Structure 1
Amino acid sequence: MSSVSRQAEKLGDDVLQDWKQIGRGGFGAVYCARQKDWRFDVAIKMLYTNDSDQLWKEAQAMTRACSPFVLRVYGVYRGIPPGSSRHECEGIVTEYMKRGTLASLLERLAGPPPWPLAFRLAQQLALGMNFLHTLSPPLLHRDLKPSNVLLDDHLDAKLADFGLSRVSNSHLNSSGTTTEDQAGTLVFTPPEAFDLSYKPVRSYDIYSYGIVIWSVFTGKKPYSGAMTSLVHLRVPLGDRPPTDEVDHSQADGLSDLVTLMERCWDRDPDKRPSFGDCLEVTAGVVPPDEGAIRRAVDQVLSKLDSEMVPSCDIAHCHSTMKEDLHKKGPVDGVKLTKPLSIEEKAKFVDNHRANLIQKVSMVMAITERLGEMVHPETYSNIQAKKTNQDKLRVLYSTLQSGGLRVKAAFYDALETHEPDLLADLASRLG
């Protein structure tokens, strides 16, 4: 299969407006902005790299992949984003997918999507990967994982960041430390790739696909809580995510898909199926009834949209709010009559500093949510720390210097990423 090659556009600050940061990671930051001439929003992934030639080369390669199941790349950006303290930087400009990533979907659902949608996601990922692999010459993804799968308004999946993995991972590895981004990639990496002399081939992506669909069907992260050194040790020996966590009786076709994922992550790369073979299986389980898929999508979108309405249960407040409600302790289902003030949130963060440092586990996710409130140098220092406790101690220095606004934003991030911990601490207030 071949594709008509497009030239990547060069975009600057003169055609982009209404910037807002929507994500951040070890690779850099992601922004949304309005392209003034096109009159629609685009995403700009800013990379922490100065290799302009390599970035342009990757953008040109990505424009070859014109498929409904691959994120559309418009070109390369060069400029200074509004509010940025950095000098001129570069990034990749793509279509904007406001429903986020497959990883964020699974996290918000706290489990697998409804089966019709889960089956469609498995099919669309295989379609996208098959397209990349059958181009001439083929494109390898090399970093297939839920956070690199984006979702449109109808929860259709589109592959992202293929090719860019070489740019972003080369930067991440330069520090000599293991970041959470690297650890997230590690669990989707085939055992043969742990050999430093390994050169990626198609079977690399097929292994990753098997692990990804396991995550889709369980709603869980593979090897959750395991140390990276243990993953390095056990995966080459044959350890894989437990397939017994997928209840075959829940839907017709699950048994076939579990068998497929086991074939995909076979220790022997030569025994893994092609994506064409995968499609023979996935096509057989996608419901022929479009209504079933639409109902599943509507169900998920309704849940996602309802969560966008801010609310705070009584377990998340401190004593002054309890006085307003004439209650003490957590009470399920009771909502606050008014939200906490910035001052109240900041006071909570100050009062519970010791407990939060000891117990918060989602430090990097919280740091990323704070966005540009955290200086890039501080962000790198947080990443470099080996324990969550040390990471949060560094972050607290930003909270102290940033004042009430940053502390309140930290509290809001805790509500999203550590709701049970926040409820437990609040329930202890007398």
Structure 2
Amino acid sequence: MIGNFDVHNVTSRDIIVHLPSKCDRQLASISALFSKSYAVSTTNSLLLQSCSKPIPAPCEIRPRFLDPSLNLDPCLANSDNITCFASNRSERLLSFEEVNKTECRFFLSSTSFVVDSARNSSFSLEFERVNLGWWIKGPCDCDGNASCELVKRGNSTLGFNCLCNEGFEGDGFRAGAGCRRGLAGGALLMGAVALLCCYVRRRTVSVNKLMNAKRLVSEGANNSSVPFYDYREIEKATNGFSDKHRLGTGAYGAVYSGKLQNVDWVAIKRFRFRDPASIDQVMNEIKLLSSVSHPNLVHLLGCCIEEGEPILVYEFMPNGTLFQHLQRERGQGFPWTVRLTIAAETAKAVAYLHSANPPIFHRDIKSSNILLDHNYRSKVTDFGLSRLGMTESSHISTALQGTPGYLDPEYHQYFHLSDKSDVYSFGVVLVEIITALKVVDFSRPHSEVNLAALANDRIGRGRINEIIDPYLDPHRDAWTLSSIHNVAELAFRCLAFHGDMRPTMSEVAEELEHIRLTAWVPGLCIESPSDTSSPSSDDESQNL
């Protein structure tokens, strides 16, 4: 089937679809007969009803002549405004836009001219059927005994067909059955027909999924007042998603930099093609990010979907992620005052999420999800796993949720993530800020592979000095050493095995702000990079 229409046959050039007469069939239903691999042929005459203006290309056959064959009497009872539409016969294919411009409400049926291939001058008129021309995209790849026929619409080449030479039979494709001489009954052609029917069915499923996904994302954007960008605008902004604009790649896809019209640089997250989970993640991010507003949460600027690929547009973060700076992937490291400020700002953002009504659990707090703007102010991102904290059961799942090394140890017991799970993950981030060590590192001794376990051991035994990042120079003054130890003790409480023993995020945020404000040395002011006008993959980054 294609849409709600049955496929009767597939030939070397056409897909033949049964189209029974129906009075109240909306014109939009014909859109299912147009895709990037097939479209309605101009050998068809379409019967339309309730048109608001004269048809620019009426058929030569009068609709009244078709009444007995198509049983249009019930339709005439509603309106006698039935028009036969045919396109310019110099073209082989129609476009949906061409049909839609007729401004008719209903699509009743279709008739097709069928040419007898044995006698080119002979043709018949078939009722309640529509012929779709089909093609394969890409350069010609036909069997040696076949000719390649380019399929065009106007001046654009859409793809190609392979037609077996006279005396040969088959589908004509080098990668298919090819063309063979003297096979009685057209066995190869029947095999090709079966393959093409399978392709049509799969393509129909893909089209239906795409339409459903586009509807969901469109509804999500409209309901949340999030702008819906045109795909061509996104493509132009990223220079066709070129590697030069690629900022990073993750589990769900890639992030690119781009400059949209009337907007400064943006980060464009392009999800993996046809990944069902990506639609859910897009809807989740749209719903959650449009419902909150905080200076330390990344801003969602818009969304788009094309060919099953969801796309989200965010404000651009020119200084990458906290993870990159701690691992010296960008720069030589941050001084303690800057790290402490980033920690305090991030805690405020997560506490804000937890205080929402209903509360929002991020469920994937980690240093690579903490972005840094021009002034190195933190912005929490990636809400694909986030959930509203409305019911306990809504967060129970046996599927792994979160990132190894940051994951709440209680999750393995109860398969449950909560606000205290975010507290645990943030405790790991605090340890990263102090130590600049990797969260999971198999080059360390077995008992120290997990950073949380290593930190609990050292902090619990009063030996935190052994794992403090040497770059911090903790003994430079009394406040630096004291505040690092205070943050380490706070991290230790966040990493408690039982969630009930951990502080709330509001308490964490308050304590970090108190530690930061006790500084007797002036905070270090870091200037923005001298040139952020043209970010690229070499010097800019954005997390997924």
TM-score, normalised to structure 2's length? 0.45
Which among 260, 284, 289 is matched to residue 35 of structure 1? 260
Equivalence for 1:97: 317
**1:224–1:54 CA distance, 2 compared to 1 (3 A):** closer
1:264-309 CA distance string (max 9 Å, x none) = 01011001001111122111122477993343x24x969x9xxx9x
Q: Which amino acid aligns with 1:189?
A: L
Equivalence for 2:229: 11
Which among 423, 431, 439 is matched to residue 206 of structure 1? 423
Q: Which amino acid aligns with 2:366?
A: K
What is the alpha-carbon distance in structure 2 between the residues aligned to residue 145 and residue 241 of structure 1? 21
Map 1:225-236 → 2, pairs under 5 A = 225=442
Deviation at 1:203, TM superposition (A): 0.3
Question: Structure 2: which 5+ residue stretches go unaligned?
Answer: 1-222, 239-244, 388-396, 469-473
Structure 2 residue 279 is the aligned partner of structure 1 residue 55:
no
Structure 2 residue 339 is the aligned partner of structure 1 residue 113:
no
Structure 2 residue 269 is the aligned partner of structure 1 residue 45:
yes
Q: Which amino acid aligns with 2:511?
A: V
Equivalence for 1:389: none
Question: Structure 1: which 5+ residue stretches go unaligned?
Answer: 80-86, 167-172, 311-367, 370-430
What is the alpha-carbon distance in structure 1 between the residues aligned to residue 280 and residue 250 of structure 2? 22
The answer to whether the Cα contact below 8 Å between 1:116 and 1:287 also exists between their aligned partners in 2 is: no
Map 1:397-408 → 2, pairs under 5 A = none
What is the alpha-carbon distance in structure 2 between the residues aligned to residue 106 and residue 238 of structure 1? 18
Map 1:53-202 → 2, pairs under 5 A = 55-79=282-306, 87-108=307-328, 113-164=334-385, 185-195=403-413, 197-202=414-419
What is the alpha-carbon distance in structure 2 between the residues aligned to residue 234 and residue 69 of structure 1? 26
**1:41–1:110 CA distance, 2 compared to 1 (3 A):** closer
**1:99–1:33 CA distance, 2 compared to 1 (3 A):** same
What is the alpha-carbon distance in structure 2 between the residues aligned to residue 233 and residue 260 of structure 1? 18
What is the alpha-carbon distance in structure 2 between the residues aligned to residue 111 and residue 262 of structure 1? 27
The answer to whether the Cα contact below 8 Å between 1:106 and 1:219 also exists between their aligned partners in 2 is: yes
Equivalence for 1:354: none
Deviation at 1:238, TM superposition (A): 9.4
**1:226–1:192 CA distance, 2 compared to 1 (3 A):** farther
The answer to whether the Cα contact below 8 Å between 1:115 and 1:251 also exists between their aligned partners in 2 is: no
**1:75–1:39 CA distance, 2 compared to 1 (3 A):** closer
SS at match of 1:209: helix
Q: Which amino acid aligns with 2:357?
A: S
The answer to whether the Cα contact below 8 Å between 1:192 and 1:198 also exists between their aligned partners in 2 is: yes
The answer to whether the Cα contact below 8 Å between 1:112 and 1:216 also exists between their aligned partners in 2 is: no
The answer to whether the Cα contact below 8 Å between 2:408 and 2:417 also exists between their aligned partners in 1 is: no
The answer to whether the Cα contact below 8 Å between 2:371 and 2:378 also exists between their aligned partners in 1 is: yes
Q: Which amino acid aligns with 2:347?
A: A
Q: Which amino acid aligns with 1:275?
A: M
The answer to whether the Cα contact below 8 Å between 2:321 and 2:372 also exists between their aligned partners in 1 is: yes
What is the alpha-carbon distance in structure 2 between the residues aligned to residue 213 and residue 276 of structure 1? 15
**1:267–1:232 CA distance, 2 compared to 1 (3 A):** farther
The answer to whether the Cα contact below 8 Å between 2:354 and 2:360 also exists between their aligned partners in 1 is: yes
Deviation at 1:107, TM superposition (A): 1.8
Q: Which amino acid aligns with 1:198?
A: F
**1:211–1:54 CA distance, 2 compared to 1 (3 A):** closer
Q: Which amino acid aligns with 2:370?
A: V
The answer to whether the Cα contact below 8 Å between 1:238 and 1:267 also exists between their aligned partners in 2 is: no
What is the alpha-carbon distance in structure 2 between the residues aligned to residue 53 and residue 25 of structure 1? 17
Q: Which amino acid aligns with 1:13?
A: Y
Equivalence for 1:220: 437
**1:233–1:152 CA distance, 2 compared to 1 (3 A):** closer
Equivalence for 1:415: none
Which among 507, 511, 527 is matched to residue 281 of structure 1? 511
1:327-380 CA distance string (max 9 Å, x none) = xxxxxxxxxxxxxxxxxxxxxxxxxxxxxxxxxxxxxxxxx99xxxxxxxxxxx
What is the alpha-carbon distance in structure 2 between the residues aligned to residue 103 and residue 188 of structure 1? 13
The answer to whether the Cα contact below 8 Å between 2:440 and 2:450 also exists between their aligned partners in 1 is: no
**1:111–1:269 CA distance, 2 compared to 1 (3 A):** farther
The answer to whether the Cα contact below 8 Å between 2:440 and 2:451 also exists between their aligned partners in 1 is: no
1:297-327 CA distance string (max 9 Å, x none) = 24x969x9xxx9x9xxxxxxxxxxxxxxxxx
User: Identity of counterpart residues, as a percentage?
Assistant: 25
TM-score, normalised to structure 1's length? 0.56
1:46-65 CA distance string (max 9 Å, x none) = 22223535522431212222
The answer to whether the Cα contact below 8 Å between 1:44 and 1:77 also exists between their aligned partners in 2 is: no
What is the alpha-carbon distance in structure 2 between the residues aligned to residue 63 and residue 210 of structure 1? 27
SS at match of 2:441: coil
SS at match of 1:285: helix
The answer to whether the Cα contact below 8 Å between 2:493 and 2:502 also exists between their aligned partners in 1 is: yes
The answer to whether the Cα contact below 8 Å between 1:33 and 1:42 also exists between their aligned partners in 2 is: yes
1:199-247 CA distance string (max 9 Å, x none) = 21100000001110110111121242269x9889997x99847442235
Deviation at 1:6, TM superposition (A): 4.5
The answer to whether the Cα contact below 8 Å between 1:126 and 1:278 also exists between their aligned partners in 2 is: yes
Aligned residue pairs, count: 280
The answer to whether the Cα contact below 8 Å between 2:363 and 2:421 also exists between their aligned partners in 1 is: yes
Structure 2 residue 523 is the aligned partner of structure 1 residue 293:
yes
**1:234–1:143 CA distance, 2 compared to 1 (3 A):** closer
SS at match of 2:296: coil
